[in-house]
Amino acid sequence: MKSFLKWLILAPVALVLLVFAIANREPVRVVLDPLSSGPPDFQIVAPLFIVLFLTAMLGVLAGGVATWLAQGRHRRAARHAKSDVERLRGECDRLRAQLTPTIPAIERPRDAA
């Protein structure tokens, strides 16, 4: 069921992206030197859909890196909490072993046969 729902969502998205790529095949010039006063020194000529797809991929990558960096303190806190839990669990087991009284075996009377 999960696989079906995934395809139900991904198929239309893929179709829209394919139609977008087919409709925007004309080459565009992307200038990456905004401070140049004369002709641009560094430029890229590529189809528009490639430029937009690459820009989107770079944005997703930058967002993922920013999220990973921002969550570093939460991962560190989780590691410390995990080590505290393991230490306290060991201490609890040790104390439980000390408190558990050893019950002497009670002898049952033997049946007279």
CA distances 83 to 22, 53, 66, 72, 97, Å, are 54, 43, 27, 17, 21
Q: How many domains does the chain have?
A: 1
> Is 18 domain-assigned?
yes
**64-107 residue pLDDT tens:** 999 999 999 999 999 999 999 999 999 999 988 888 765 555 66
| pLDDT over 90 percentage in the chain | 42
pLDDT digits (tens, 9 = 90+) for 6-15: 889 989 988 9
Predicted local confidence at residue 59, as pLDDT: 95
Give CA–CA dist 29/47, Å, rounded. Answer: 9
Which residues constitute the domain of residue 17?
Answer: 7-33+40-68
Q: With respect to residue 25, please indicate whether it lies within any of the assigned structural domains.
A: yes
What pLDDT score does 58 carry? 96
| Residue 95, in any domain of the structure | no
Domain contains 74: no
